[in-house]
Structure 1
């Protein structure tokens, strides 16, 4: 056997040996990882056991607390049972007493009286239920009528009643929003007292037309007060046919007085085109109104 053959064999043996060592090293590492995993698992188990022990201790404390609470409740129950026994004896004693018998009879009479009142109230309640059903029927009828009327859209104002007080209230509401200019018309100068003109901003110019009788002391005094305000111009309008307010060119209320009292046709709008046409009637009235001497 030559030297080359010996060297080759030795190298192969060395490789085999090295391979064995590598296998041993790999197995060793695997076992170490296994030991580490087992150690971690044991630590987790220890933590779980500790948690379970703590939980058991807490439960034992809760059980102890509940046991004490139950014992206290049992003592209270016994005390109540004793108290009930004493009360029963007292009731027996009271029932044998003549005074208490009369008191019981009095209570029975009160109970009977209450029962009579209850019977009366029950009857009133039944009557109220009947009235309520009748009212609901009337409301349903009114709703039906309203629904049928709403289909028409055009309102017949021939006999429609809108009282003067409601119109003046709306004018006062609109007047509260005035910023620059307003034109107002009412039937009589005394109607202006309901508009609270003194509360209007002093920067608002107010043109007012209404019926005024200077020969009447009340009219004369009110006219003098109004003319003392720099932002009010007032004219005499004798026709007594309209209520109106035109505010800042933004909203306009125009009411035409009907033949019957409170039969007022009221138009209220913020629409520009509506206002444009109605404003011609506003100006017509203002031009017809006479300046005061």
Structure 2
């Protein structure tokens, strides 16, 4: 039984406390009373972290059951697939079509085009706000781009995209940002060579962009694919506050950084360094 002082706390305060606990602590706390059990259960399902394929399958299978005690599908707002090493999502995975997420984070996820489409169904133009793809296969990136087009409508809520250590093409970036007009943060960290084409597409389609990070893969020290043309376009981004664009030999030199800081009044941080 909960101590009297804790049990009498307002519901909104209890929810805030539970949010700061890890999953193990939430499970243990949920066993102490009926009042807190429902709060902990909902929090555990809000943004589920799966560290293995079996955990992902268990999550999907539970959502697919018709006789669940709780409306789990209504509680889901995010999914975090965080595998310790590369894992292949099986084609047999059955993620309910009615489930969409506010946040989707993928780490070390590889998949066939079929499985990729199943995972990317979690993205919705009415709900999704953040997508992070880290060390994932080309099929995952392709599935992401295809999903945005499949929804047809603009993804007005999607404001943050991070793609890290993946193979990413200019054409894919241009395609993705054409469906995300309210994008505020774009990160391509350690990905393949992006060029002016990608940067110009972002500046054209995403007038609210605030943060842009574009860096090269670890094994590549320099590139000449991003030029002053990108800086001129970025200078017109009225909301841009942070720019990191490393390893681009055509932009190295204080004169380029100083020029951009002068011509983009909102810009607070600019890193065009070689390292």
Same fold (TM over 0.5): no
- In which range does the TM-score fall when normalised by the shorter chain? under 0.3
Normalized per residue, the structure richer in strand is: 2
TM-score (norm 1): 0.23
Normalized per residue, the structure richer in helix is: 1
TM-score (norm 2): 0.24
Structure of higher RCO (CA pairs closer than 8 Å, 6+ residues apart): 1
